[in-house]
A and B are shown apart, each in its own frame.
Chain A
Amino acid sequence: MNLIPRSLSRASRGRSRRERLATAGLATAGLLAVVLTFTIIALFVHGSIPFVRTVPLREFLGGTRWAPLHEPASYGILPLVGATVVTTGIALAVAVPLGLLSAVFLSTYAPSSVRRVFKPALELLAGIPTVVYGFFALRFVTPLLQSLIPVLGFWNGLSAGLVMGIMIVPYMASLSEDVLYAVPRSLWEGAYALGATRFETVIRVVIPAALSGIGAAFILAMTRAVGETMIVALAAGRTPTWPPDPTQPLLTLTTAIVNIATGDHEATAFIWSAVFAIGLLLFLTTLVLNTVSYLVIQRFRQRYA
């Protein structure tokens, strides 16, 4: 008995149907990302239409007063952007040096036994929920800072930013460590062969070689900070101020969304269109940043693959 079909072109009908079905099903799931992205964009653009029609773009992007519920309402987004820039800046000032140095240590100095323990430890810590960091900022860091800086408000951008930075360290460290570790051994050997010390090799050869990847890690850390919600909602307060002062309460882009969304507004209220407008801005910002960093990392991988 021969179980092989006679002709090359005919498979058993059941099997080829199953194969087609599987392909179709899997492709649908694969395409979901495209559908989802376009749904999101459509949703946000559609939701923002009433806002764009009513509020002049110049007022939205150039205004320094955010008071959507006042009479007359004012929709200047600069205070929110300023607050986000302040908290993100503080966070990156903490996370980038600490994260990068940790990564350099782990990838180039640490013996492999240390690396095997600390790399998973960093990943574990990266899994701590942001609401925990928010609690920490509000209940511990702010009181501590208040004893050093008496003018510091109960809610303030400084402690939110600092804690956000601490939160991002494991993330930044883990991403940059991957990149540094991927720099081929041959580059090290080349530098050593010229009589360079380990430090000179790291600074002059390894880090420059990994620079694009580190840049991508930096961008990813930045999108985390820009999109962070719970820490600022808990510790940074809900007051739109211009110019933003890190010692005082701030309203970031994300907390502005939380503020409106958790307020008791009719689903048809005009204020919702402001949520979509801010959301669209946030989404497009992260879309650009993520795409850039993704493409940079892909190129980095290809170069050293």
Chain B
Amino acid sequence: MSEHEALPVLSTRSFSLWYGSHQAVIEVNLDIAERQITAIIGPSGCGKSTLIRAFNRLNDLIPGVRTSGEILFRGETIYGRGVDPVNVRHHIGMVFQKPNPFPKSVFENVAFGLRINGFRGNLAERVESALERAALWDEVKDDLHRKTGYDLSGGQQQRLCIARALAVDPEVLLMDEPCSALDPIATAKIEDLIRELASSVTVAIVTHNMQQAARVSDFTAFMLLGELVEFGLTRELFTRPKDSRTEAYITGRFG
């Protein structure tokens, strides 16, 4: 099956975002296909992190943020009136730049999302499966309750954050430069993990590391100064960029 035919789970329609008077995202139109990995690349300050944070309304926390245009999740607007951002975040989970485990036990880190959602099933089983999916289970199973998130290594912490996000069964997993704080070995593990996850969940990943985008993603979007310059299949974008700015960036002439 061709990747082109995959359905968009998330799509933006002329989406713009302002921090006060500064426009950080300008009229972006982008479709993120189901069970595919979409990478968003670009030099720092290009608006890629802002855009990905807009997908689960985390920018709501920053005072003075305004948006226009739409972001649709399975055809339903997520910025509409009456939309509860808490529900948006159930469907669309997120993993951050720096690992940010809660200062609690490994188990509680993963169980938190389930508990607040009133999960009534077998908690231990769900925690285990989330940790399995995040390839962390074998490393932590012996001291699930004794070790806190902070006792793990940086790479383990990030995988714990992924497990935490997976535990509530999101349909989309947003990753904001998830490897920027990690060493190469930990990075490689996370990249493998991302590829595996794509069989069950849609992934959007922001990275400033082009090699990473090329390695893990199916689609790549290139952003510059708040605008979406080019979007397409990763192998095409990196080998035959249509826009001269994309070419300049991927050949290392700026950024």
Contacts and interface: CB of A to CB of B under 8 A. Distances in A.
Interface of A: 1-5, 7-12, 14-16, 19
Nearest to A16: B84
A19 B85 CA distance: 13
Contact of B76 (A3, A8, A12): A8
A275 B98 CA distance: 58
Contact of A3 (B73, B82, B83, B119): B119
Contact of A10 (B80, B84, B169): B84
Contacts of A19: 86
B26 interface: no
Interface in B182-197: none
A3 B111 CA distance: 13
Interface string B74-101: 0010101011101110110000000000
A12 B90 contact: no
Interface string B48-76: 00000000000000000000000001001
Most chain B CB within 10 A, of A9, A14, A15, is at A9
B202 to A, nearest CB: 14
B223 interface: no
Interface residues of B, number: 20
Contact of A5 (B78, B90, B116): B90
A3 B86 contact: no
Given A1-B121, A3-B118, A3-B119, A8 B169 contact: no
Interface string B197-216: 00000000000000000000
Contacts of B168: 3-4
A4 B91 contact: yes
Contact of B84 (A1, A3, A4, A11): A11
A10 B90 CA distance: 12
Nearest to B170: A4
B244 interface: no
Given A2-B169, A3-B114, 11 more contacts: A4-B87, A4-B117, A5-B90, A9-B82, A9-B83, A10-B84, A10-B87, A11-B84, A15-B86, A15-B116, A19-B86
B78 to A, nearest CB: 6
Most chain B CB within 10 A, of A5, A8, A9, A14, is at A8
A289 B118 CA distance: 51
Contacts of A1: 121
22 contacts: A1-B121, A3-B118, A3-B119, A4-B87, A4-B91, A4-B117, A4-B169, A5-B90, A8-B76, A8-B84, A8-B87, A8-B88, A9-B80, A9-B83, A9-B84, A9-B87, A11-B86, A11-B87, A12-B117, A12-B118, A15-B86, A15-B116
B87 to A, nearest CB: 5
A157 B121 CA distance: 74
Interface in B89-136: 90-91, 114, 116-119, 121
B121 A8 contact: no
Given A1-B121, A12-B118, A7 B87 contact: yes
A10 B91 CA distance: 13
Contacts of A12: 117-118
Contacts of A9: 80, 82-84, 87
Contacts of A15: 86, 116, 118
B233 to A, nearest CB: 30
Contacts of B114: 3
Given A3-B168, A3-B169, A8 B118 contact: no
Nearest to B85: A8
B83 A8 contact: yes
Contacts of A10: 84, 87
The 3 closest A-B pairs by CB, nearest first: A9-B82, A4-B90, A8-B87
Contacts of B119: 3
B87 A3 contact: no
B144 to A, nearest CB: 21
Contacts of B73: 8
A10 B88 CA distance: 10
A1 B119 CA distance: 10
Contact of B91 (A8, A11, A14, A16): A8
Contacts of B117: 3-4, 12
A53 B168 CA distance: 69
Contacts of A7: 76, 87
Interface in B146-197: 168-169
B237 to A, nearest CB: 31
Contacts of A14: 118
Nearest to B81: A9
Contacts of B78: 8
A12 B117 CA distance: 8
A4 B116 CA distance: 12
Nearest to B74: A8
